[in-house]
Amino acid sequence: MTAQIIDGKAVSVKCLDKVAAAVAERTEQGLRAPALAVVLVGDDPASAVYVRNKKNACEKVGFRSLAFEKPASFSEAELLALIDELNADHSVDGILVQLPLPPHIDSQKVIERILPDKDVDGFHPYNIGRLAVKMPLMRPCTPKGVMTLLKEYGIDVKGKNVTIVGQSNIVGRPQALEMLMARGTITVCHTATRDLVEEVGRADIVVAAVGRPNCIRGEWIKPGAVVIDVGINRLDNGKLCGDVEFDAAKERAAYITPVPGGVGPMTIASLLENTLEAAKLHDKE
């Protein structure tokens, strides 16, 4: 069997087109364009690229985008004060603080300072809690993007055995909650998992979110499984690769996401969808 490749780039373009159409409709109705504030602290080159991509995507769909680029010396108190200002600004729908932050800033404190209805990353404990009780408000972007991909390809999670490798607050855990909400039977693996090969091998759907190249071996995949690779790893030769041994896994899986071009583009698509949803919430205020 050779797997069907899940084309995240194509699905993300479709999502962005839908968002752009909704923005145009809002304008026709006399409503303002959604506005996203992106805050970058420090000079991490990878973060700068992510911020630029988010800004470009905002402009493409007709959002208003506000960029705040602050030096690494920006203090935690200054950052919290900036968030307070953006929270109070009724013309701002979403606030995104690019992670990682410099070590002198407590990221969790910053995440919790953003109003939950402006937390378009979906990282605030309130939003994770809403997802846990099946009443999501702002859904964490990467796991939400994975669910959109599955839906687009007609892959029903209900009743399936789902193994998620990785339990981070931004990917693995919320992914487990999303899969549970879709009525899958969930296993979450981490470094204390006793038999990763077995847990992966009995999964109908595998989500890898580890951050180690090729750590999920192709031969572990159950024939006919769906393989979603969230990992983004840069190799010494400069190339990007995922967590799954792609060439071997694609010979066993029914569907597989490539890296790049799989889950990655969906994260930005979800971010823009969340910002549109936030704007709709704020229309009612």
State the residues that interact with ligand NAP by CB under 6 A.
142, 165-168, 170-172, 189-193, 196, 209-212, 215, 230-233, 263-264, 267
- Angle value at C-alpha 255, between 276 and 211, nearest 5 degrees: 70
- Name the closest residue to ligand NAP (Cβ): 168
- Phi, psi dihedrals of residue 228, rounded to the nearest 5°: -115, 115
Smallest CA-to-CA distance from 221 within 246, 241, 240 is with 246
Which CB atom, from 92 or from 256, has the smaller least distance to ligand NAP? Answer: 256
Which CB atom, from 133 or from 192, has the smaller least distance to ligand NAP? Answer: 192
The answer to whether residue 54 is catalytic is yes
The end-to-end CA distance of the chain, in Å, is: 53
In whole angstroms, the minimum distance from the beta carbon of 217 to ligand NAP comes to 12
The answer to whether residue 118 is catalytic is no
Whether the CB-CB separation of 110 and 83 falls below 8 Å is answered with yes
In whole angstroms, the minimum distance from the beta carbon of 174 to ligand NAP comes to 10
In whole angstroms, the minimum distance from the beta carbon of 122 to ligand NAP comes to 12
Residue of 98, 118, 119, 222 marked active site: 98
In whole angstroms, the minimum distance from the beta carbon of 183 to ligand NAP comes to 24
The answer to whether residue 108 is catalytic is no
Residue of 93, 117, 119, 121 marked active site: 121
Residues taking part in catalysis: 54, 98, 121
